């Protein structure tokens, strides 16, 4: 029984996909066309009530109903086949329904007053879907269509058109109301489009502000490197990955030698320049997969995933030599030589990040006790 129900649901889904496709954009257009068809059905029902009340000849209403039905079918075929995608209104709702509404105005006899309210509903389809320029085109088309309809009512009386004695003033009033509907719809479209553009701009500005705040939260303002908060999170992630994959993980702590003397002798502005230069030098030596962060003051951390101690030591020796060989140009033309001491530790099985950091820090202080400007691997 469950298999039979599943089969029926599958058949229903395939049938639905065959009718309205699986393309989400095409489904939206077909949905708009479906709403337009429901509106047309309401208009058709109103016209048949008018004919049943004897206010107009039912024969033109029947022919008009057939024409509307053919139009709805044609629109469905054009949308379903994809032939309407190149048009400004791919769902074809406005031009189709305005033409049918203008024709209803011609044949409705004394009940022509139903046309402007229906036109107002029709135009709502465009307010939220078209650009102001496209809506102006639709409004001009509506004026032409209803202008032609008003001319037929006023000056042309074929045998199929129910004769009526509509005063010219009433015809003019109807056309004025139709013009008001078209103009107000165009104005609303302009306002909606402007509001959408403003919201998109605010959304972009908000996204940029959020990104800036995120960067401020994870970046060191002076060096541009990841800050302590970011490094703690990356250490947590890499620690979990290393424990899971049993791949080696190295953590190095780098500290500029005698940096307090730099600040005392040359000033804190020179110290900032030295830190920036050091960060750039080290960043140029490490690999793209390594993470260099400012830990605080003149201390930096380097996290090296999937790296064996021998490889990490060679990399850090290159960093140490490059720093020593790269003088820092201070404001005023002074050249400043820097050296760095490094403590390196490899994550042990079951070891916490705090313990790993403590061993790297101990190795760093060991390197300083041994004379600075050296790399020391913790054991």
Catalytically active residues are: 298
Give the integer Cα–Cα distance in Å for 235 and 40: 64
- Mapped onto helix, strand or coil, the DSSP state of residue 131 is coil
Structure tokens at 363: 């190795």
Chain centre distance of CA 1: 44
Task: Decide: 30 and 76 in contact? Cβ < 8 Å.
Answer: yes
Best CA proximity match to 144, nearest among 178, 120, 117, 118: 178
Q: Burial, 196: exposed, middle or buried (Cβ in 10 Å; 0-12, 13-18, 19+)?
A: exposed
Q: CA angle 117-119-120, nearest 5°? A: 65
Rounded CA Rg of the chain: 39
Structure tokens at 163: 């004769």
Task: Decide: 90 and 125 in contact? Cβ < 8 Å.
Answer: no
Q: How many residues are recorded in the chain?
A: 379
Give the integer Cα–Cα distance in Å for 375 and 216: 31
Q: Burial, 299: exposed, middle or buried (Cβ in 10 Å; 0-12, 13-18, 19+)?
A: middle
Give exposure, 306-315, as e/b (b: 16+ Cβ within 10 Å): ebebeebbeb
Q: CA angle 200-201-206, nearest 5°? A: 95
Task: Decide: 241 and 347 in contact? Cβ < 8 Å.
Answer: no
């Amino acid at each position: 029984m469950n298999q039979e129900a599943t089969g029926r649901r599958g058949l229903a889904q395939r049938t639905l996909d065959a009718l309205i496709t699986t393309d989400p954009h095409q489904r939206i257009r077909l949905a708009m066309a479906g709403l337009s068809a429901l509106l047309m059905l309401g208009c058709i029902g109103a016209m048949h009530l008018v004919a049943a009340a004897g206010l107009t000849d039912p024969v033109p209403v029947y022919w008009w109903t057939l024409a509307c039905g053919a139009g709805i079918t044609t629109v469905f075929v054009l949308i379903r086949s994809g032939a309407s995608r190149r048009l400004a209104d791919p769902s074809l709702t406005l031009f189709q329904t305005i033409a049918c509404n203008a024709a209803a105005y011609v044949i409705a006899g004394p009940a022509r007053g139903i046309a402007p309210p229906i036109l107002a509903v029709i135009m709502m389809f465009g307010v939220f879907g078209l650009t102001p320029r496209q809506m102006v085109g639709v409004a001009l088309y509506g004026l032409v269509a209803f202008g032609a309809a008003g001319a037929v009512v006023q000056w042309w009386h074929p045998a199929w058109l129910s004769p009526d004695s509509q005063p010219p003033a009433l015809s003019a009033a109807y056309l004025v109301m139709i013009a008001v509907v078209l103009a107000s719809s165009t104005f609303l479209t302009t306002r909606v489009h402007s509001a959408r553009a403003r919201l998109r701009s605010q959304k972009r500005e908000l996204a940029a502000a959020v990104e800036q705040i995120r960067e401020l939260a994870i970046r060191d303002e002076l060096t541009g490197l990841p800050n302590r908060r970011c490094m703690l999170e990356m250490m947590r992630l890499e620690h979990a990955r290393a424990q899971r994959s049993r791949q080696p993980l190295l953590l190095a702590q780098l500290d500029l030698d005698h940096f307090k003397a730099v600040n005392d002798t040359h000033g804190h502005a020179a110290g900032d320049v030295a830190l920036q230069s050091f960060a750039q030098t080290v960043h140029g030596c490490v690999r793209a997969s390594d993470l260099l962060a400012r830990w605080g003051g003149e201390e930096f951390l380097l996290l090296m995933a999937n790296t064996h101690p021998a490889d990490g030591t060679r990399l850090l020796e290159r960093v140490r030599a490059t720093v020593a060989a790269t003088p820092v140009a201070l404001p005023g033309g002074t050249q400043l030589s820097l050296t760095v001491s490094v403590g390196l530790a490899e994550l042990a099985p079951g070891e916490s990040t705090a313990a790993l950091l403590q061993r790297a820090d101990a190795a760093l202080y060991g390197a300083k006790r041994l004379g600075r400007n050296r790399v020391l691997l913790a054991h």
